[in-house]
Amino acid sequence: MFELSQDHEEFRALVRDFAQAEVAPHVAQWSKDKYFPTDLVPKMGELGLFGLVVPEEYGGSATAEDGPDFTALCVAIEELGRVDQSIGITLSAGVGLGINPILTYGNDEQKATFLPDLVAGRALAGFGLTEPEAGSDAGATKTKAVRDAGEWVINGAKAFITNSGTAITSVVTATARTGTNDDGSPQISAIMIPSGTPGFIVEPAYDKLGWWISDTHGLTFEDCRVPEENLLGREGDGFKQFLKTLDDGRIAISALAVGMTQRMLEECTEYAKTRMAFGKPIGVNQGVSFQIADLAVMLEASRQLTYRAAWLKDEQERGRRSVAEVKKAASIAKLYSTESAVTAGRIATQIFGGNGFMEEYPVARFYRDSKILEVGEGTSEVQRMLIARSFGL
């Protein structure tokens, strides 16, 4: 059985206190208003949440001796997600899709330019991968970037991009076709596009099923010009870069799902003890109590899979585990945890009965928020495909 260290448990308590004080009192109204709390992000930065995998030289807490603490990041995402899934994904995407590509593939100048503000929570960054006609099939990217007079000229569109249109969004890293490989496949590269660049158009926010607080926009590029030096990593490496980015992000989404299931277990347990029917608490009925027992089993399994995958990720960074091990563990954790979270939302809504359909109870918000967990960072079908491939199938 995998267990977190004492340091991680103490960090969990710290983040939980923060979430209860800074998020819980406001989240119902934020959700109702579909309001993104920009002023919360610097507070998260002050707590060090954006810097857990970032070296000290850029304002993070990762030391040369200990390296990045991806496990601690998952703890933070879980605890924020336990209070609200939108706030949890803001951190998850802010680090996994915003900071990590720059940290992993950026040169010294790019890191020094963007990372300090991102780590401090003074800014957010997005990752433009998905397109209107390229989701799971990311190789079908149609956005193009061509060189002209020392600049990249970018044309195309992206869809469903998190943290891309806030008042503090500083940059979006976008994948684009920059040529053709020898085998005829498109050469995909990643290019950093600062906010406010002419031709970089942030479309109106989506009207979503869930994640009402989270910032999500489509992006359009119309002859958008950035310096050639904004290429992230090597030309043509964009495909490999985003595959690696998604591997890490799947573990983070799994942690978000754990926070969801944890909250549903807590809400259902309390409701089953206090809701009276036929003169007794509904929890004395096996039809209710057995469903709560199922929630507990799903939670325990999800948590074990998630934090084992996070531990493997940390061990990989120290050269003690392989990329293949992490990839497989990430897909297994993401698949099980997210499907369990959707089931947990459905069970909770059923236990709450008519009240579960009412916005005054948090289970309604969580149930809405749950479905996207099975889609983002690779659908359940993609995870099953990757798991099968790990066995040579």
Cα 353 to Cα 272, 277, 279, 282, 371: the distances in Å are: 11, 12, 17, 11, 20
* Cα 366-368-374 angle, rounded to 5 deg: 95
d(Cα 104, Cα 9) in Å, to the nearest integer?
A: 28
Which residue has tokens 């990593």? 233
Contact 366, 260 (CB under 8 A): yes
Contact 161, 236 (CB under 8 A): no
Longest dimension (CA), the chain: 79
Catalytic residue among 22, 79, 267, 377: 377
Contact 50, 91 (CB under 8 A): yes
DSSP 392: T
Which sign does the torsion angle of CA 306, 310, 313, 319 carry? negative
The answer to whether residue 317 is catalytic is no
Annotated catalytic sites, by residue? 377
